[in-house]
Every structure is written in structure tokens, then in C-alpha cells.
């Protein structure tokens, strides 16, 4: 009988020893990092396709999780900055609106009154636009939710 994986210190017809598993993992990882396909690595190392695939799937999952975390944190920061910006604009516009309201109450000049009404209408439109932006930011699914949904769909 010959060893199942071609090494002198491997068990006969079965699972490789821990030492051999580490060697296999290191061999496969070296080629994986170079971007070789499973078929290429199997051809070069003479390892079983299922063995190589096992390591590929573990490393692909780790890489995807790391990339997802990076994207998720970047998205979270960008969303937070956008929300803060729109909230600051909204607060400022509310202050502007209140100031216009006070001036409308105290003015006696008809021409100024008409201009103030126009500015109040513009301020109301700005408030509505900022509220709409804030609401849309809150409603857009996050990348994390999108990735989770995609992963669940792939499992099915």
C-alpha cells in the first residue's frame, strides 16, 4: 500500500497527520495567494481537488468577511457624515424659518411683507428637501443588510 497523499510520514489510506495538514495548507496557500485556480494547484501539488477546495472556501469566506467589514464600516461612516450634514442644514433652515416668521409678524411694509413670504416659502421647500434626504438615507438598505440577503439567497 502507498500513502494516500504521497508523503513518507502520512498515514496509510486516510486522513493526513496534523503535520501533513499544515504542510498541505501552506503549500495550497502559497499558490492561492498567487491567484492560481484550484485546478492549477491540484496539478502542481498533486493534492486532491476536494482538499484544495476546502482551503479555498475557508480563505474566501475570511476574505469576504474582512472586505465586508471594511465596506460596512466605510458605509456607516459615510452615512453618519451625510446624516449629520443634513441635520445641521435642517436645524439651520428651521432657525432661518423662525427668523422670517418673526419678521413677517413685525413688518408693516407691504413690499417687505411679500418678499418675506417668498423667503418663507423657499425656506419651507428647503426644510422639506432636507427632511426627504434624511428620510431616504434612513430607508436605504445598508450594505450589511444587502450582503446578508445575498448570502441567504446563495444558501438556498
* 104 Cβ neighbours under 8 A, 6+ residues apart: 113, 116, 117, 120
Residue 9 DSSP one-character state: T
Using 50, 70 and 90 to split pLDDT, how confident is the model at 125?
very high
| Predicted confidence band of residue 121 (pLDDT cuts 50, 70, 90) | very high
Model confidence over 71-99: pLDDT tens digits?
777 788 888 889 999 999 999 999 999 99
Using DSSP, state whether 93 is helix, strand or coil.
helix
Q: What is the pTM of this model?
A: 0.51
How many other CB atoms sit within 10 Å of the CB of residue 30? Answer: 13
Q: 10 Å Cβ neighbour count for 33?
A: 9
Say if residues 130 and 90 touch (Cβ distance below 8 Å).
yes
Compute the mean pLDDT over every residue in the chain, rounded to the nearest whole number. Answer: 85
Higher pLDDT, 103 or 34: 103
Amino acid at each position: 500500500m502507498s500513502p494516500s497523499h504521497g508523503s513518507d510520514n502520512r498515514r496509510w489510506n486516510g486522513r493526513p497527520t496534523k503535520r501533513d495538514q499544515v504542510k498541505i495548507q501552506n503549500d495550497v496557500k502559497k499558490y492561492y495567494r498567487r491567484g492560481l485556480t484550484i485546478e492549477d494547484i491540484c496539478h502542481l501539488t498533486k493534492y486532491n481537488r476536494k482538499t484544495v477546495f476546502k482551503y479555498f472556501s475557508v480563505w474566501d469566506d475570511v476574505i469576504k468577511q474582512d472586505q465586508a467589514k471594511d465596506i460596512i464600516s466605510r458605509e456607516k461612516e459615510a452615512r453618519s457624515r451625510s446624516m449629520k450634514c443634513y441635520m445641521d442644514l435642517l436645524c439651520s433652515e428651521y432657525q432661518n424659518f423662525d427668523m422670517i416668521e418673526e419678521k413677517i409678524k413685525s413688518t408693516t411694509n407691504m413690499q417687505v411683507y411679500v418678499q418675506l413670504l417668498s423667503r418663507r416659502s423657499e425656506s419651507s421647500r428647503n426644510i422639506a428637501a432636507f427632511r426627504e434626504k434624511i428620510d431616504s438615507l434612513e430607508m436605504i438598505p445598508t450594505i450589511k443588510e444587502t450582503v446578508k440577503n445575498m448570502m441567504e439567497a446563495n444558501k438556498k
